[in-house]
Amino acid sequence: MMKKLALLTLLLYCCSAKAQSSYTPTPDNLAAREHFQDMKFGLFIHWGIYSELGAGEWVMHDKQIPYNNYKRLADFFYPQAFDAKAWVQFAKRAGMKYITITSRHHDGFSMFGTKASPYNVVDATPWHRDPMMELAQECQKEGIELHFYYSLLDWGRPDYAFGSPIVNGEPVNGNWPSYINFMKSQLTELISNYPGVKGIWFDGYWERTNANWHLDEIYGLIHKLNSSVLIGNNHHEAVKPGEDFQMFEKDLPGGNTTGFSGKSQISQLPLETCETINNSWGFNINDRSYKTVKQIIQYLVNAAGNNANFLLNVGPMPNGKIQPEFADTLAVVGNWMQKNGESIYGTRGGLIPPQQWGVITYKPHVLYAHVLKTPRQPYIFIPSVEGKVSKAVLLADGSKLKIKQQPEGVFVYTDGLTLDPVDTIIELTTD
């Protein structure tokens, strides 16, 4: 098996760099990008052996746990309550259309049955199950898309040589070709062996921005294996050739409140913003800073108004269960999406900039004005509306609102209207 996989990978690598340098998205890839934008709401999952310590996914680094000591966590990783069906149903109840999950994080532990390293959930734990395969199969059954998070950074592998100086694009103390080939082998497995995978979400590039990551080869390999698999990279820089969507970590596109997006420029690619449901990515037993239903809905709406998907993260507990606090909150979000999803799913944003009172999403001949803050005047003003607006109604109950259209835009009068404290949605029909 290893020889066949290595041969297949080698053949693909030989042509990948050349293919990537002249890569043009295929019709399948372009269709996948459109579908990705239509979904709008996804579930991010950070889960691994680090979950056992209940201090987030950076615990090995932050607590300076020696790698060989940290690896012992695999010896007693046994998530007896893990249920792929329950996770997928959790996402569906919340109104989410896709799941992005950590197949390998910075600690280097593979949460799937890889042949490229024995340091994986099937071979190195007493559990001996492949949660990525179970999740992929369940996602296929339920019509949920599956994307894999994959870390370029590895704190433990000798060939990566974490902390080594970089000279001529490679770590002095490591074996860079070995590490690049290791990643290619794993990515080949993830795309070839797991059914229905639609995206790869890279992270860790920022740890060595002066390294030659061989992205042309890696991206070319992925597109060669399956042209409809979308590639994104959380490098916090302008998009690079071969990427299919652009993500913004804990910020809306164009924002830089975290300091991550200072080198980012909003591209014409599909956009995605990711955020945590509390303050942690991986399970943190002391983190009780749970976001409210209102905060989550308004983040989702603002993302859609900025033409971006919203990828909301949870960190399941080491036993494989998702915290009940998260389930309760997202069930309410799901109820809201059932009632108001037409103003989010399949829409686009950015046609009209965000306003003081909220944002606008749109479909052909329909605008949705999301009033998130009480207007300063007894009306909202929507600038630069193309076409004639024939009517404006509340999405909640269909009641008509008075409008006045001028060359500079449309006035929608809200006097006497009781505004929803979360989001008052006004649907405008245009000719």
- CATH number reported for the structural domain that contains residue 405 in this entry: 2.60.40.1180
- Shared-domain flag, residues 357 and 341: no
Query: Cα(71)–Cα(226) distance, rounded to whole angstroms?
Result: 33
At 148, give phi and psi (nearest 5°).
Answer: -110, 125
Are 417 and 390 members of one domain? Answer: yes
388/264 same-domain check = no
- Give residue 406's domain range: 351-430
pLDDT confidence of residue 22: 58
Mean pLDDT in the chain? 94
Q: Is residue 213's pLDDT more than 70?
A: yes
117 and 139 in a single domain? The answer is yes
Cα–Cα distance, 168 to 171 (Å, whole number): 8
In this prediction the pTM is: 0.94
**How high is the pLDDT of residue 259?**
84
Same domain, 140 and 288: yes
User: By the 8 A CB rule, do 375 and 357 touch?
Assistant: yes
Domain boundary among 294, 325, 346: 346
Q: Of 346, 367, 398, which residue sits at a domain end?
A: 346
356-361 long-range contacts, CB within 8 A, separation 24+: 358/301, 358/305, 358/423, 359/301, 359/302, 359/304, 359/305, 359/306, 360/305, 361/301, 361/304, 361/305
- 225 and 212, same domain (yes or no): yes
Task: Write the pLDDT tens digit of every residue in 320-342.
Answer: 999 999 999 999 999 999 999 99
Question: Is 376 in the same domain as 319?
Answer: no
CA 241 to chain centroid, in Å, comes to: 19
Q: Are residues 118 and 185 in the same domain?
A: yes
Per the structure, the count of domains in the chain is: 2
- Supply the DSSP string of 359-409, one letter for each residue: EEEEETTEEEEEE-S--SBSEEEEES--S-EEEEEETTT--B--EEEETTE
The answer to whether residue 115 scores a pLDDT higher than 60 is yes
Domain edge (last residue) among 346, 379, 397: 346
Integer Cα distance of 215 and 20 in angstroms: 9
Question: pLDDT (tens digit, 9 = 90+) per residue, 241-277?
Answer: 999 999 999 999 988 888 887 778 899 999 999 999 9
